[in-house]
Amino acid sequence: MTAVAERLSSPTTVRRLNVAGAIVTVLTVVAAIIWAFPIYWGIISSLKPENEVVRPYVELWPDTLTFQHYVFALFETQIGRWYLNSIATAIGVMVLTVSSSLLCGYAISQLRFPGRRPLWWLILASFMVPTQVLIINHFTLIAGMGLLNTWAGIILPQLIHPVVIIVYKQFFDQVPRDFREAAVMDNASEWQILTRVYIPMNWGVTTALCIVTFIWAWNAFLWPFLAVTRTEEMTITVGITQVNDAFGVYYARQMSAAVLAGLPVALAYLLFQRRVTQAITLSAGIKG
């Protein structure tokens, strides 16, 4: 016991620990800066004139700051149209996924009905199936419905997000039964219980799930890439990689397109940092 007390009070141990701790802290900060550097480099390159971008040395700040590439991307290419397609399809995926999952999660959590168990299995099963293997049949299905090159065609196959249902079920399970019983006593209908009690009590998780499904849909590549063949119907994530002649080998121009494509999701994350991280940890099955 005395030995422990001695060690604890010994100044050298404390100093040694602090030095090691400080080194780890500095390393972490330096690593973070290096980690994010390619993003900074991309942004900075997009603000340099084309001839400055290809100079054979590293310039951390442009000599001549220019927005000409952004003006070009916004007015001379189809990027505006792609933006519109991305916004429309991402909002479509967000609204449909979150609303259908909310209703389904509520039913599984609060109601007893035949087929509840098989339904739960179906949800867990869909959790395991990689949507990438379904691309062939999604394509024939969407083509058969005549929905290729349309917003609906881009949206539909992106609606499989069983994790949203699972998260809703968990949150509805946690609402104390008293609330439900009190509402039933007041003769509230099931719809009223859902819209006046359960949804308002879980606005936080709804916001988080909306943001994260929007980000997923905005970032989706494989399906929107397959569902669209006409350049004007592309989403921005697909468009900036497919239409090279619009940008040519102009590196700075290409980086400005990349910045424009990443901006909305990066902003959504920076503005709603806590919600985004909460939703993402939840989607991995960890209670945030």
Partner 1 sequence: MSNARHREWLIAFALILPFLVIYGLIFVYPTIRMFMLSFTDARLIGEGDWVGLENYTRLPGDRRFGTAFWNTAYFVLLTVVPGTLVALAIALGINRLKGRLQAAILALFFLPYILPVSVVYLIWDWTLNFQFGIAMYLFDAVGLDRIPVFKTTTWFMPAVAFVTIWWTCGFSVLLFLAGLRAIPDEIYEAAELDSSGRWTTFARITWPLLWPVTALVLTIQLISQLKIFDQVYLFSTGGRVNDNLVLVYYIFQRAFQSDQGGRAAAIAVVLFVIVVVVSVLNFQLTRLSGRSR
The answer to whether 155 and 93 are in contact (CB under 8 A) is: yes
- Pick 205 or 265: Cβ nearer partner 1: 265
In the region spanning residues 159 to 178, those forming contacts with partner 1, defined by CB under 8 A, are 159-160, 165
- Pick 141 or 201: Cβ nearer partner 1: 141
Among residues 170, 236, 237, 208, the alpha carbon closest in space to that of 94 is found at 208
174, 192, 195, 281: which one binds partner 1 (CB under 8 A)? 281
Q: Give 246's DSSP letter.
A: T
261 contributes a contact to partner 1 by CB under 8 A = yes
Q: In the stretch 40-59, what mask flags binding to partner 1 with x, by CB under 8 A?
A: -xx--x-------xx-xxx-
103 contributes a contact to partner 1 by CB under 8 A = yes
The interface region with partner 1, picked from 61-69, 70-78, 138-146, 175-183 by CB under 8 A, is: 138-146
- Pick 26 or 71: Cβ nearer partner 1: 26
CA distance 46 to 38: 12
For residue 146, the Cα-to-chain-centroid distance in whole angstroms is: 29
- Pick 135 or 201: Cβ nearer partner 1: 135
18 contributes a contact to partner 1 by CB under 8 A = no
8 contributes a contact to partner 1 by CB under 8 A = yes
139 contributes a contact to partner 1 by CB under 8 A = yes
61, 121, 130, 230: which one binds partner 1 (CB under 8 A)? 130
Among residues 126, 116, 128, the alpha carbon closest in space to that of 169 is found at 116
Q: Which two tokens stand for residue 98?
A: 């979150």
Cβ partners under 8 Å of residue 60, min gap 6: 44
CA distance 5 to 83: 65
Q: Which two tokens stand for residue 78?
A: 């189809």
96 contributes a contact to partner 1 by CB under 8 A = yes
To the nearest whole angstrom, how small is the minimum distance from the Cβ of residue 260 to partner 1? 9
114 contributes a contact to partner 1 by CB under 8 A = yes
For residue 133, the Cα-to-chain-centroid distance in whole angstroms is: 22
To the nearest whole angstrom, how small is the minimum distance from the Cβ of residue 75 to partner 1? 20
241 contributes a contact to partner 1 by CB under 8 A = yes
Torsion of Cα atoms, 145 then 227 then 156 then 218, to 10°: -160
141 contributes a contact to partner 1 by CB under 8 A = yes
Q: Which two tokens stand for residue 84?
A: 């519109």
154 contributes a contact to partner 1 by CB under 8 A = no
270 contributes a contact to partner 1 by CB under 8 A = yes
101 contributes a contact to partner 1 by CB under 8 A = yes
74 contributes a contact to partner 1 by CB under 8 A = no
Alpha helices in 47-201 (DSSP H): 50-53, 68-76, 79-110, 116-128, 135-144, 151-155, 162-174, 177-185, 190-192, 199-201
- Helix, strand, coil abundance in the chain, percent, nearest 5: 80, 0, 20
14, 182, 266, 271: which one binds partner 1 (CB under 8 A)? 266
195 contributes a contact to partner 1 by CB under 8 A = no
15 contributes a contact to partner 1 by CB under 8 A = no
